[in-house]
Amino acid sequence: MIQALLGLVASLALWSLLRRGLQPGAGLRGVGVALLAGGGVLLLARQPGLAAVAAALGAALLARARRGGRRGRASTVRTATLEMMLDHDSGAMEGRVLRGAFAGRMLSDLTLEQLLTLAAEIDAGETQTLSLLHAWLDRAHPDWRDAQDAAPPASGATSGAMTRAQALEILGLREGADDGAVEAAWRRLMKRVHPDVGGSEALVAQVTAARDRLLR
């Protein structure tokens, strides 16, 4: 009797959760099939009432998946810096930068170098934002951590290869910024990209190369 009541409560809780949060699609169909199978098991366990509840839930979810699976549902997670969208059907992920030097840009339009710069600009307290960005990097650039650690230190050649536009973008500046603004931007970023605060030598080299490009 107690097990039956617990099962009923769990089923009702699941139904409530599905009504609030799950979208139609493959995940919804999977839950529906699982509930139908669970109904069969409950029937064999001589719990016809609970079996009926599970079967009804399963049938409703499968019907909902058939009705909504074609509409291309998506989930959106928004933080102060990023807005991430996940397509339920394809599993594709996309993101938009909401503030900073890359505000308005889509993550898919940024190079790996720019994405690492964006990561360096995000405050360490924005743990959710960093987790989302790292998830994007893991999908789009699976070897990004190796590339970050393997990047060579800044040098005259590296600095010369960087364009002025790239240097301005890395430091979050606009054309016309004077030397004082360049130095201030460099100091601000160095506080975030230094290895002592969780950054890397690669990011230090990148930010320093941008400063040198603008000051020469």
Could you tell me if 129 and 84 lie in one domain? yes
Same domain, yes or no: 81 and 65: no
Choose the final residue of a domain: 41, 71, 101: 71
191 plus 91 within the same structural domain: yes
Burial annotation 150-173 (CB, 10 A radius, 16+ → b, else e): ebeebeeebbeebeeebbbbbbbb
Q: What is the span of the domain harbouring residue 59?
A: 2-71
Domain boundary among 13, 39, 71: 71
> For the chain, how many helices (H) and strands (E)?
10, 3
Q: How far apart are CA 84 and CA 208, in angstroms?
A: 30
Same domain, 84 and 164: yes
Residue closest to 181 by CA, chosen among 214, 158, 207: 214
- Please check whether residues 140 and 171 belong to one and the same domain: yes
Mind listing the pLDDT tens digit for each residue in 147-189?
Answer: 656 554 444 333 346 788 888 888 888 888 899 999 998 888 8
For the chain, what is the domain count?
Answer: 2
Cα(10)–Cα(7) distance, rounded to whole angstroms?
5
Place of tokens 């079967």: 55
Q: What is the pLDDT of residues 108-119, one digit of tens each?
A: 999 988 898 888
Question: How confident is the model at residue 106, as a pLDDT?
Answer: 95
pTM of the model: 0.41
Same domain, 67 and 80: no
